[in-house]
Amino acid sequence: MVDSGPTALERFINGILPENPTYRQLLGMCPTLAVTNGLKPALTMAGATAFVLICANFITSLIRNALKPHLRILVFTLTIATFVTIADRFLQAFMPAMSKVLGPYVPLIIVNCIIIARCEVCASKQPVGTALADALGCSLGFALGLASIASVREILGTGCLLGARVLPEAWPNWGIMVLPPGAFLTLGLLLGLVEWAGAARKKAGGNQG
């Protein structure tokens, strides 16, 4: 490689905050909105996505020299689909209740843009170690994004977090928060908040991000 770009460690850190897949790149929106009505499904989803992302990046990086340019997207998606099948069967076998809750969104990991983007941008050009670090960072960033949205929605919608009471009993549950519109509203407002915080830091003379 002529230009190796950022090192493995930089890629790992980049994925978590500076290039957070949810807030910075707006990737993988379907699960971000669909499974964040509670923290538990959100974390399970993040775990499944992390598994698929790490495995797919690993395999793609191993076969990067044998890839034909015009077939690469197909190879990526078939690799991803294989690991998604494994993750889906695993969830069905060991966490049947959670598998029911997540429903079609586990197989929909196949078309999660984050994974294809990481395969295309990083894993198909970098050695295995770098690709793994990149995948780990991105998974953590994605988990962070999902968890933040899910916490806001679960706390405001039910007054609980992971089933434990957080807000006083007198809290009127904002039912809309756990329904589809709440997902759009929460993500929209959180995005605005992140943008606002970033702009405020830049104005204060801090470095970018």
Partner 1 sequence: MNHLVDLLLIAVGAAFINNFVLHYFVGICPFIGVSRRVDQAFGMGLAVTFVVTIASFLAWFFTWFVTRPGAPVTAWVWGLFAPGSRTVLDLSILNYLIYIFVIASSVQFVEMYLKRFFPALFKAFGVYLPLITTNCAILFACLEIMKHVSGVRDPAAAWGLDQALALAVFGGLGFALAITMMAGIREELDLCDIPEPLKGAGITLLTAGIMAMAFMGFTGVDRGLAAFLR
Q: Interface residues with partner 1 (CB under 8 A)?
A: 26, 29-30, 33-34, 73-74, 77-78, 81-82, 84-85, 88-89, 104, 107-108, 110-111, 113, 116, 176, 179-185, 187-189, 191-193, 195-196, 199
Q: How far is the CB of 103 from partner 1 (least distance, A)?
A: 9
Q: How far is the CB of 168 from partner 1 (least distance, A)?
A: 27
Closer residue to partner 1, CB minimum distance, 118 or 130? 118
Closer residue to partner 1, CB minimum distance, 133 or 146? 146
Q: How far is the CB of 108 from partner 1 (least distance, A)?
A: 5
Closer residue to partner 1, CB minimum distance, 39 or 109? 109
Q: How far is the CB of 73 from partner 1 (least distance, A)?
A: 7
Q: How far is the CB of 40 from partner 1 (least distance, A)?
A: 18
Q: What b/e sequence results for 102-123 when a residue is b if at least 16 CB atoms lie within 10 Å of its CB, and e otherwise? A: beebbebbbebebbbbbbeebb
DSSP codes joined into one string, 28-54: -HHHHHHSTTSHHHHHHHHHHHHHHHH
Closer residue to partner 1, CB minimum distance, 119 or 133? 119
What are phi and psi for residue 24, nearest 5 degrees? -90, -40
CA angle 91, 141, 143 (to 5 degrees): 30
Closer residue to partner 1, CB minimum distance, 111 or 128? 111
How far is Cα 205 from Cα 15, in angstroms, rounded to an integer?
23
Closer residue to partner 1, CB minimum distance, 162 or 176? 176
Q: 131, 57 in Cβ contact below 8 A?
A: yes
CB atoms within 10 A of CB 146: 25
In order of 106, 175, 186, the CA distances from 157 in angstroms are 24, 5, 11
Instruction: Measure the CA dihedral 79/84/90/96, to 10°.
Output: -170
Q: How far is the CB of 167 from partner 1 (least distance, A)?
A: 22
Instruction: Measure the CA dihedral 38/41/47/52, to 10°.
Output: -130
